[in-house]
Amino acid sequence: MNSKAADDDPDAVPPMRRFAATTFVASIIVAVWAMLFPAPYPLCMGLLAAFPVVAVGMVGFSGGQLKFVNPAGEISTYAFMVIVVTSFTLAYRSFDIHAISWTGPALAAVMLDFCLVGAVAFIDRPNLHVRLLVILAAIGLFWGLGCANFTNALLDMGPKQTFRPTINLYSTTNGLNIGRYGNGGYSRHFVVGPWGPTARSEDTVVTEGVYQRAKAGQPTCFLLGRGFFGAAWYSFGACPGSS
């Protein structure tokens, strides 16, 4: 079928709609990847953060082929679902970063949310859908929080402090944090003694690899950073050379 015939065919699917459908499928694949086995980690999180921007961009540059609201007035288009799937997944995974202060990331999250909603409002300006903007403002906060929390840690180039508290107890719990670390529905817990800014013992969920390498009474390394936004954060794992 030539292009002229395709343009005249009422059942033909416009190229941008096919692209939107493909993008939605890709977003689901990346979300599942992020939930089950997010490696390489920076690439996986970066893709999650980029998908909402791609969704807004493809609607803006579609020449009217794509909308956030379908002709029936329903907010259920591919572009909208891409934002939903990846925003919630990114926010969930962002709690892998253990933030001590949320002030900086929270402010950055609000600003990112404002930019996302503002971009959609600009695209949708001929026929502004207030309900769409309100829903996106709520969802965008999850996306903004995920972006801000990861940025606060991954772009923190300042000096880090290392602490070595002792593992007092480690255990396995079924039914919590399902799939978060690829443990088949199990979450792994360490209870560690006081360290750095923490004046009491703390129960912390850890990755499968750290859990398998650790032993009760063995030191665990906590890396404490000041944060790109000035919000302190930490990560942890088995200390190098421990056995």
> Per-residue pLDDT tens for 196-239?
666 555 555 555 555 655 555 566 677 788 888 888 888 776 56
Judge contact between 237 and 210, C-beta under 8 A: yes
Extract the runs of DSSP E, i.e. beta strands, from 51-192. Answer: 98-99, 161-163, 167-174, 186-192
Domain check: are 103 and 194 in the same one?
A: no
| Average confidence (pLDDT) over 169-198 | 54
The better pLDDT of the pair 36, 221 is held by 36
Q: Which residues is 191 bridged to in the sheet?
A: 169, 203
- Residue 182: pLDDT band with limits 50, 70, 90: very low
Q: Judge whether 139 lies within some domain.
A: yes
Q: Judge whether 112 lies within some domain.
A: yes
Domain check: are 133 and 223 in the same one?
A: no
How far is the C-alpha of 203 from the C-alpha of 5, rounded, in Å? 65
54-94 residue pLDDT tens: 999 999 988 888 888 877 777 878 999 999 999 999 998 88
Domain limit, last residue, from 124, 154, 184: 154
Q: Judge whether 243 lies within some domain.
A: no
Domain check: are 150 and 202 in the same one?
A: no
Judge contact between 28 and 85, C-beta under 8 A: yes
Domain limit, last residue, from 154, 187, 220: 154
Domain check: are 191 and 131 in the same one?
A: no
Domain limit, last residue, from 154, 180, 208: 154
Domain check: are 60 and 81 in the same one?
A: yes
Name the residue with tokens 């190098």. Answer: 240
Does the pLDDT at position 157 exceed 80?
Answer: yes
Structural domain for 212, as ranges:
161-238
What integer pLDDT is reported at residue 86 of this predicted model?
97
Q: Judge whether 16 lies within some domain.
A: yes
The better pLDDT of the pair 62, 144 is held by 144
Chain mean pLDDT for the chain? 78
| Average confidence (pLDDT) over 34-45 | 87
Domain check: are 100 and 115 in the same one?
A: yes
Domain check: are 45 and 84 in the same one?
A: yes
Domain check: are 146 and 191 in the same one?
A: no
Q: Judge whether 92 lies within some domain.
A: yes
Does the pLDDT at position 163 exceed 70?
Answer: yes
Domain check: are 170 and 57 in the same one?
A: no
Lowest model confidence (mean pLDDT) among 6-20, 29-43, 198-212: 198-212
Lowest model confidence (mean pLDDT) among 19-33, 48-62, 143-157, 218-232: 218-232
Domain check: are 149 and 165 in the same one?
A: no
What integer pLDDT is reported at residue 129 of this predicted model?
86
Q: Judge whether 189 lies within some domain.
A: yes
Judge contact between 103 and 157, C-beta under 8 A: no
Domain check: are 208 and 172 in the same one?
A: yes
Q: Judge whether 62 lies within some domain.
A: yes
Identity of the residue numbered 82: V
What integer pLDDT is reported at residue 177 of this predicted model?
39
Q: Is the peptide bond before 71 cis (omega within 30 degrees of 0)?
A: no
How many angstroms separate the Cα of 97 from the Cα of each of 41, 93, 151, 200, 206? 12, 8, 10, 20, 11
DSSP 8-state secondary structure symbol assigned to residue 219? B
Q: Judge whether 149 lies within some domain.
A: yes
Q: How many domains does the chain have?
A: 2
Domain check: are 142 and 202 in the same one?
A: no
What integer pLDDT is reported at residue 172 of this predicted model?
55
Residue 186 backbone phi and psi in degrees, to 5: -105, 145
Is this prediction's pTM over 0.85?
A: no
